[in-house]
Amino acid sequence: MKFFFSSTFLFIILLLLTILSLFIGVSKVSITDIFHLTKAQTNIIVSSRIPRTVSILISGSTLALAGLIMQQMMQNKFVSPTTAGTMEWAKLGILISMIFFPQENILIKLIFAVGLSICGTYVFVKLVQYIRFTDVIFIPLLGIMLGGIVSSLSTFVALQTNTVQSIGNWLNGNFAIITSGRYEILYLSIPLLFLTYIFANHFTIAGMGKDFSSNLGVNYEKIVNIGLFIAAVITAIVVVTVGTLPFLGLIVPNIVSIFKGDNLKNALPQTALLGAIFVMFSDIIGRVVVYPYEINIGLTIGVFGTIIFIILLMKGRHNYAN
The separation between the first and the last C-alpha atoms of the chain, rounded to the nearest angstrom, is: 21
Mark residue 217 as left, alpha or beta (left: phi above 0; alpha: psi -120 to 50; beta: remaining): left
Query: Mean pLDDT: which of 55-69, 94-108, 286-300, 305-319 is highest?
Result: 55-69
pLDDT tier, 39 (very low <50, low <70, confident <90, very high otherwise)? confident
Other C-beta atoms closer than 10 Å to the C-beta of 310 total 10
Q: Which are the contacts of 56, defined by CB distance < 8 A and separation ≥ 6?
A: 21, 175, 276, 279, 280, 283
From residue 174, how far is each of 291, 311, 318 by CA, in Å?
16, 26, 36
- The reported pTM is 0.88
- What is the DSSP code (8-state) at residue 210? H
Instruction: Give 317's contacts (C-beta < 8 A, 6+ positions apart).
Output: none
Side-chain-side CA neighbours of 14 within 13 Å: the count stands at 26
Q: What mean pLDDT is predicted for residues 213-242? A: 88
Mean pLDDT for all residues in the chain: 83
Taking Cα atoms as reference points, which of 192, 198, 218 lies closest to residue 207?
218
At residue 196, the 3 state secondary structure works out as helix
pLDDT(11) > 70: yes
pLDDT per residue as tens digits for the range 254-279: 888 888 777 778 888 899 999 999 99
The pLDDT of residue 1 is 56
Choice among 33-37, 167-171, 178-182, 226-230 with the minimum mean pLDDT: 167-171
- Give pLDDT, residue 287: 86
Vertex 286: Cα angle to 113 and 306 (nearest 5): 70
Q: Mean per-residue pLDDT for 270-299?
A: 87
Helical spans, DSSP H, in the chain: 7-22, 39-44, 50-74, 86-100, 106-131, 138-160, 164-167, 190-198, 200-206, 210-215, 220-242, 248-260, 264-288, 297-321
> Percent of the chain beyond pLDDT 90?
16
SS3 138: helix
For 171, other C-beta atoms within 10 Å of its C-beta total 16
Domains and CATH numbers, the chain: 2-170+178-321 (1.10.3470.10)
**For 78, which DSSP code?**
T
- Per-residue pLDDT band for 321 (boundaries 50, 70, 90) equals very low
| Weakest mean pLDDT among 21-25, 37-41, 111-115 | 37-41
Section 222-230 average pLDDT: 90
pLDDT at 275: 92
Per-residue pLDDT tens over the stretch 68-93:
998 888 888 888 888 888 888 988 89
* Per-residue confidence (pLDDT) for residue 2, from 0 to 100: 59
